[in-house]
Each structure stands twice: as C-alpha cells, then as structure tokens.
Amino acid sequence: MKTISALIAMILAGTFAACGHKPEAEVGEAPAGEVWLSAQQDKEAKPVMETVAECPVGGLVQTVGRLTFDDRRVSHIFSPLSGRVTRLLVDPGQRVKAGQTLALIDSPDMGSALSDAHKAEAALVAADQEFARQKELYEAHAGAKRDLEAAEANYRVAMAERDRAQQRAAMFYAPDSKGVSQGFLLKAPIAGEVIARTANPGTEVQGQYGGGSAVELFTIGEIDQLWLLADIYEIDLFRVKVGSPIQIQIAGYPENPIQARVEWISGALDPATRTAKLRCTIPNPKRLLKPEMFAQVSIQVEPGRALAVPRSSTVRLANQSFAFVDLGTRPDGTHRFERRPILVDEQTSGDRVPVKTGLKAGERIVTQGAMLLMGQG
C-alpha cells in the first residue's frame, strides 16, 4: 500500500508541474529583497510615498556653544602683591565704582615699595644739593670740572631712581603716601557688579609680581550682555558668514529661543579640534542667563541643491541605510516594494539628507511607514 500511495503522489506532482501550477505555500511569496503587501495590508498601513528629486538641503549648520562674559565689560582682579587679606569691603552682588577699594591686604612688598620711593626721594635731594655746591665751586674757580661732572651724573642717576621708585609705588595705588605702610588697598579697575569673590579675611595671597601662581580674588563686570562662543567645523566654515542669523537654545529655557547674528569668526583654526571660533552678543536684561551655560546653536546658511530624501524615509540596520522603492501594484492588488541599500550624508542638518548612491531621480520611495515595511521584510 505504501508503494502505491507514493506512486500516486508522484503522478499528481507531475500533473501539477505539467499544468504550470505552484504549490499553495509558494503563492504570494515575495522574492528576496522585496516586500509585498496585500490590498488589505496596503490599505491598513497607508504608506506615504514621494518622488525622489533634487531640492535645497543643508540650510542649517548646527553646533554647540557656551555663554561667556563680554570681555569689554568684565575685570578679573588679582593682587599684584603677596600678603594677607585683613579686611573685605564689598560683598557679592554689590555694585562698585571704578577706583573703589575692595579689600585691604597687609603686604611687606607694599612697605618695601614705599620705602624705596622715600629713600630715592632723599637720595635725589642729596644729589641735587651736591650738584649745586660743585657748580658754585666751579664757577668760583675753586673746584675742578671733573667734580662738577661727577656730581651732575650722580644727580641724574638719583632722579632716574626716584622716578622708577615712584612709578612702582604708583602701580600699587600709593603715589602720594607720606609714610611707609604695609597696607595695600586693592581697588576696582572698572565700575560694575561684584559677580564673584574668592577672598576671605586671613587668606594668604600670592602676588602677580611675585613669580608664583596668583589666585583671582574678585570678578567685577556686567552680565546684562553676554557673548556666545561656538565652534564651527572646517567642513562648514565656508558656509558661515558674518551676519548669518543664529538661533540659540539654552537647556534651562527651552521655551525661549534666542535670535542673534554672527559678529565675528576667528581667522585661524584650533590645531587640536580643527574648528574655528564664532562669536555673537546676547542681550540679558533680566540676568537669567549666566556665564558658562551651554547652548545648542543653529546657524542659518545658504542651502545647496542635491538629490535628497526625507530623513524619515531611511531605515538604519547595523551599518547600512535602506529605503523602500515603490515597484507598483500587481493585478491582484498586491503592492510591491524593493528594500534597497543607499548611502546618505547623515552629517547634513535639516529634515532632508543628500543621497550619494542607491536612488535615482524620478523613483518613488516610502517616506512614512518604512519601519513597518522593514518588519515585514
């Protein structure tokens, strides 16, 4: 019986083959690399399609930046002399005038500078008197010309030393001091707000002129206007111009994007990062923005033209991008799509990405629903 059954099966199979029929399991199967949707599936999925064509791309250059002080409106204050802070006269947030005393510092260097100035003044008086005496003797034919010339030289040396000592003392804001004191007055070079203060009473400070590492004691300035500094990569540098519009998004205030324009682009690249610096000014009247905040920066540039597709039309699988190309509908209503590997420039900003290989102008691709088709493939 088994042998008879096998013969019957072989005869039936040969009959189907002669008539050109396929087994039921093979009907409706898509070839490799294609995805087929029945009429009902196509109606439910509703894939959105678009014809591939050239269009403007890359109208934005996106980067990151940070907020900084406007260099013209801020002063970082160090002590020029080594010593110990004995008194603080201003608090953070307080507004000060140019020349206002910020702190008192007890500094031996200050006493040395004042002492040198007074000793130089006394030496000049003595040299002046000696020069005058030798001049009188010479005019009375009672002194040698050599002595007169030596006295004049000593006088000029003393005058130069007096000027040097006074100018050094003047650097420490004490040009008119009548006595010798170690008290140094640290003053504000500009008017503004005390934004930061790191000094405390009793703190030992290293002077800028002492050869050590000086610590910033005060930061004075205005933050009602800040700078944004951003990095532009070499590949985008030729597209960004002075005057290009910028949109700035601060993480802490996502609902309030800031509009500005490029004011300056550095003339050289950073050799380590291969980027150029960009700067623009940001008004900050409410003082909500703070220096060193990070920002997302979008720079509007002139777009180029290229064969491009919407980002939503590309599907990434491993290291390869794919697009689904419309192959039309069969007589039975089955909609055919080809899953085609493509190469796109994903570094281009905007909603569309240029296509380097894989697609031709005039082909129709799926722009919405590509992920659904990827699951069907």
Asked if CATH classification 2.40.420.20 holds for the domain at 29-58+305-376, the reply, yes or no, is yes
For the chain, the distance separating the N- and C-terminal CA atoms, rounded to the nearest angstrom, is 44
What are the E-state strand segments in 170-222?
183-187, 192-197, 204-205, 218-221
Pairing of strands 95-96, 320-329: unpaired
* DSSP string for 21-49: ---GGGTTPPPTTEEEE-HHHHHHH--EE
- Give per-residue pLDDT as tens, 105-155: 998 888 888 888 889 989 999 999 999 999 998 888 888 989 989 999 999
pLDDT at 166 (0 to 100)? 84
pLDDT at 115 (0 to 100)? 86
Q: Which tokens in the block code for residue 195?
A: 């934004």
pLDDT beneath 70, residues of the chain: 1-28, 173-180, 210-212, 377
Nearest to 180 by CA among 240, 119, 249, 269: 119
- Structurally, at CATH architecture level, domain 63-72+223-301 sits in Beta Barrel (2.40)
- Provide CATH 2.40.30.170 ranges for the chain: 63-72+223-301
- Provide CATH 2.40.420.20 ranges for the chain: 29-58+305-376
Q: What is the dihedral angle through the alpha carbons of 172, 174, 175, 181, rounded to the nearest 10 degrees?
A: -120
CB 171 within 8 A of CB 87: no
pLDDT at 261 (0 to 100)? 95
CB 110 within 8 A of CB 253: no
Compute the distance between CA of residue 244 and CA of residue 61 in angstroms, rounded to an integer: 11
Q: What is the dihedral angle through the alpha carbons of 242, 244, 245, 247, rounded to the nearest 10 degrees?
A: -80
> Model-level pTM greater than 0.85?
no
CB 299 within 8 A of CB 59: no
Compute the distance between CA of residue 313 and CA of residue 320 in angstroms, rounded to an integer: 14
Q: Which tokens in the block code for residue 341?
A: 């590997």
Compute the distance between CA of residue 94 and CA of residue 89 in angstroms, rounded to an integer: 10
* Interacting residues of 268 by C-beta distance below 8 A, sequence separation 6+: 276
CB 282 within 8 A of CB 289: yes
CATH of domain 109-176: 1.10.287.470
- Provide CATH 1.10.287.470 ranges for the chain: 109-176
pLDDT at 57 (0 to 100)? 82
79-107+182-216: CATH topology is OB fold (Dihydrolipoamide Acetyltransferase, E2P) (2.40.50)
